[in-house]
A = this chain, B = another copy of it.
């Protein structure tokens, strides 16, 4: 079918060993021979088969990437970061999008293992229930290096890049407090997920450190989706003892809040201050004064990929766990306006 190394060898009048040598720049080859071979390669439009090479060398130079929501730029940026580093090291990326579906995640892992990839970078989706041991054991029995990126998974057995969600939520809530707010509502993400749990801790911590009692009436349980945030926000706006600020646990949910605000003609932050987790590029560019706490997404991808490469290069020696925690940045937009009164 397609042209092989043997065709080149024949065309150049050498053995395939020699062709292999010039392909891989290994061992000495006479200048003239090399030129003949290169000429044949050009003329026959030959491209070596990575498949055959992989089988022979037992290395695929391919890594697997699993994300829950490819159309969310948050993950798009993570992949972008991963891709940048992969490009430097000439690694290929096999991508799986799971639509937040654990079943698909497991299928992806299986397919990746068949592909004999060198390692997996995964941003796990949140579990349907708290108990998720089946998934974890699959991950552990994979026999392939696994790097977690900011996962929702409660597990300390894997290396990975994480965000300090406690600190992030603390900083965000604190900024509202410093601006004079005392009645600060919280809209959580799906409480099965680690980030949501941590952010709740950070929120409470900030209140407590500032001697503001935690009022359960101000804590609303969402699910990371904008629809729930919209409903909750409308609810909030009808409270008798309305909060003056809202802390929201995800970028999608900010949109839900904004929608409710927009409908009710609430100005941000004059009528209601808001801080959310993860930026929304669009609102940002447009210039809306939405403050946010932002994990460095592209950087997370880059670091994750570097962790994996480290792991691959240091064969047996350097396999110990490396968990890197990044501090999210608090970005105050029109911060003077965060002031309550």
Write the residues of chain A forming the contact surface with B, with a CB cutoff of 8 angstroms: 1-2, 45, 47-52, 54-55, 58, 60, 62, 65, 70-73, 75-77, 79-80, 83, 87, 90, 92-97, 99, 104, 110-111, 113-116, 141, 143, 226, 255-256, 258-259, 262-263, 280-283, 285-288, 298
A116 pairs with B286, CB closer than 8 A: no
Q: Count this chain's copies in the assembly.
A: 2
B47 pairs with A2, CB closer than 8 A: no
**Contacting residue for A51 out of B45, B54, B255, B258, CB 8 A:** B54
**Contacting residue for A255 out of B48, B65, B282, CB 8 A:** B282
Q: Which residue of B lies closest to A93 (CB)?
A: B95
| Nearest Cβ on chain B to A226's Cβ, whole angstroms | 5
- Kindly state the separation between the CA atoms of A285 and B92 in the bound complex, as whole angstroms: 35
| Nearest Cβ on chain B to A35's Cβ, whole angstroms | 21
Smallest CB-CB A-B distances: 10 pairs: A71-B76, A282-B282, A50-B114, A255-B285, A95-B95, A258-B286, A83-B97, A71-B77, A262-B287, A47-B113
B87 pairs with A104, CB closer than 8 A: yes
- Kindly state the separation between the CA atoms of A111 and B48 in the bound complex, as whole angstroms: 10
Given A80-B97, A114-B48, the answer on whether A263 and B287 have CB atoms closer than 8 Å is yes
Given A226-B285, A262-B288, the answer on whether A79 and B97 have CB atoms closer than 8 Å is yes
- Kindly state the separation between the CA atoms of A51 and B52 in the bound complex, as whole angstroms: 8
| Nearest Cβ on chain B to A31's Cβ, whole angstroms | 25
Q: Which residues of B contact A48 (CB under 8 A)?
A: 114
- Kindly state the separation between the CA atoms of A70 and B71 in the bound complex, as whole angstroms: 9
| Nearest Cβ on chain B to A58's Cβ, whole angstroms | 6
Q: Which residues of B contact A79 (CB under 8 A)?
A: 70-71, 95, 97
Q: Which residues of B contact A71 (CB under 8 A)?
A: 73, 76-77, 79-80, 298
Q: Which residues of B contact A114 (CB under 8 A)?
A: 47-50
- Kindly state the separation between the CA atoms of A172 and B94 in the bound complex, as whole angstroms: 38
- Kindly state the separation between the CA atoms of A158 and B298 in the bound complex, as whole angstroms: 34
Q: Which residues of B contact A256 (CB under 8 A)?
A: 285
CB-defined A-B contacts under 8 Å, sample of 7: A70-B76, A70-B79, A71-B77, A80-B97, A255-B286, A259-B285, A259-B287
